[in-house]
Structure 1
């Protein structure tokens, strides 16, 4: 069965082959594993990559390996963006991430603890991005490297448990993040201008909305909230609102899909370029290859904001669903 590996995999594999240190090899191998699609055709490849990773990690623990604990918290970004999932312990973060990414990590009814970041990949409408499960946020102990991982994220997803005082969990987690100078993007007006803060887009997931009584509890939760938050009731058990969640993630990361076509050929609708809103034709050319950016003579666009095959300038702002033909 064919593996159908994404283009990102081969770029990461090339970096793995040229990695000089053990730490670099482990990081790139973890990234390779995170982008491999999960289906029967990749079973052997994923098993082989995991074996190689286990050997490298074992080597890093030896005196000669010199592996550093904080390296586990430096998760290289993969795909169109990196979404970091945070929250207190026992709210179902790991189960939720495993469900969204079709991860093979073990899940059970018993509470579990994630000790290190666990990356996985998920897709929506041909956009692929990274979801990272993280250790619980607790005042008892915080890994400083975890806060650095959160600061580098493109989106923070905060998970609370509907049945375990979710309002207190939300307030406590936000307060803890604020102590480390991390805050929701839509709360910038609460801070003094020039105050050193990292502002990030946030989504709040109210987990374990598994049945009809839970829906009523969620309504009570919303009514008791003292301020408006971008909340979504979800259930890893039933799959409730998980597709909506994926769409919300794409919107919160300000991503659009742009398709390309070679002159005289049909566009490839299976592999769009995920671009930030506000990106222009010049940005797209640079993403394709530096030669395209340097040698581009003209570009034509098919889309909602233009007529088909319209000749556009390099600074034309791309729209979601645009088809671009670049001439060099």
Structure 2
């Protein structure tokens, strides 16, 4: 472990002292690729150590999962208990939570699992404390709450982002529009639909060379950085939406609170006084999870608004809805009648299996 960390520090130092120009672009590309490979080795050692471990792996329930990440004593456990009714031990000293504590809350008819993770410390991605296990669980979540103390939000935010970034978690980002297709021969062919201002072709070749890729088609559909290219080549990055939960606003002034709202994707709250939780925090959680509620309507009956079918990832089709109800429905599917915002007519629209549904649509399935 110490050998890998030392190598990382040596390469980082060499990158820092190397001038950026045409003559050094290939060398810098190799160095950054070597860094990425060493960091991957650090977080997924050959012995198989980067998994959840005792007390960290939990059975998944609900349509989506939200993981609470933060330093010790920022109020994660108090917030967890208030949202789910699950007792996650809370106290005014550090490291109260030592394992993953799961709970479930219902939001607009959707069951969402909440995971209260143990507090992490700086250096978690390098194996300090139980950071590796904590971040490994965070990688599997559909949404991350980074819970921060309002008295020092920016410094702690930067440290935690760095820890998650080092473990291959990309917060509030989408996967780079870069396609690397390996070939048997022909060398490296680079194409791009937009001008490349952040990366040099020599850097691209250097990165691919470090990963022993000598023949490939590399297509850029965005003005990407070398780090984004490495992310694509590595192939093990996860792109997770994130909300910054700025806790303990009951201890600051109104003027200070106004400044907090300037932090993107942030929600100031007080878990102790329960300020701004049920309205703004839960509302933004719903938006970030991108869930869609679909109500069923049996033939000849009114819609059933009591228990919606909840689908994930926004653009869901009638076929997705059928599969969520029962896998056999698609085999007998003839057409569907849809009422709601996705329908062209107030009285409903006859649609096929590829029709995209919207939140709170009503669907009636007709079989062959």
Matching residue of 1:146: 134
Aligned length: 255
Structure number with higher strand proportion = 2
Secondary structure of residue in 1 paired with 2:356: coil
1:317 to 346, 349, 356: 356
Cα 1:73–1:309, aligned 2, differ >3 Å: closer, same or farther? same
Which deviations, in whole Å up to 9, do the C-alpha atoms of 1:185-237 show, x marking residues without a partner? 338666322414322101000001126x44332334456xxxx5200001112
Matching residue of 1:199: 239
Q: Does 1:289 align with 2:330?
A: no
> Which of the pair has the greater relative contact order for Cα pairs under 8 Å at 6+ separation?
2
Contact 1:260/1:267, CA 8 A, preserved across alignment: yes
CA distance in 2, matches of 1:289, 1:129: 21
Higher alpha-carbon deviation: 166-175 or 119-128: 119-128
CA distance in 1, matches of 2:137, 2:92: 28
Secondary structure of residue in 2 paired with 1:272: strand
CA distance in 1, matches of 2:260, 2:286: 25
TM-superposed CA distance for 1:71, in Å, is: 4.3
CA distance in 1, matches of 2:99, 2:276: 27
Matching residue of 1:183: 170
CA distance in 2, matches of 1:185, 1:109: 31
TM-superposed CA distance for 1:295, in Å, is: 1.1
2:76 to 68, 93, 110: 93
Q: In angstroms, what is the RMSD of aligned CA positions?
A: 2.2
1:71-110 maps to which residues of 2 (within 5 A)? 71-109=54-92
CA distance in 2, matches of 1:242, 1:129: 16
CA distance in 2, matches of 1:182, 1:72: 22
TM-score under structure 1 length normalisation:
0.72
Q: Does 1:218 align with 2:218?
A: no
TM-superposed CA distance for 1:80, in Å, is: 1.5
Q: Does 1:229 align with 2:229?
A: no
Contact 1:124/1:247, CA 8 A, preserved across alignment: no
Matching residue of 2:28: none
CA distance in 2, matches of 1:69, 1:134: 11
Contact 1:75/1:149, CA 8 A, preserved across alignment: no
Structure 1: state its 5+ residue gaps: 1-67
Matching residue of 1:262: 298
Which deviations, in whole Å up to 9, do the C-alpha atoms of 1:93-146 show, x marking residues without a partner? 111111111223444555552111111111222122111000111124134332
1:136 to 107, 110, 119: 119
Matching residue of 2:154: 167
Matching residue of 1:279: 316
Structure number with higher helix proportion = 1
Which deviations, in whole Å up to 9, do the C-alpha atoms of 1:259-292 show, x marking residues without a partner? 1121112221121111121010001101100111
Secondary structure of residue in 2 paired with 1:238: coil
Matching residue of 1:305: 342
CA distance in 1, matches of 2:70, 2:257: 18
CA distance in 2, matches of 1:222, 1:187: 24
Cα 1:324–1:194, aligned 2, differ >3 Å: closer, same or farther? farther
Matching residue of 1:158: 146
Which deviations, in whole Å up to 9, do the C-alpha atoms of 1:41-93 show, x marking residues without a partner? xxxxxxxxxxxxxxxxxxxxxxxxxxx98142222321110011101111011
Cα 1:311–1:92, aligned 2, differ >3 Å: closer, same or farther? same
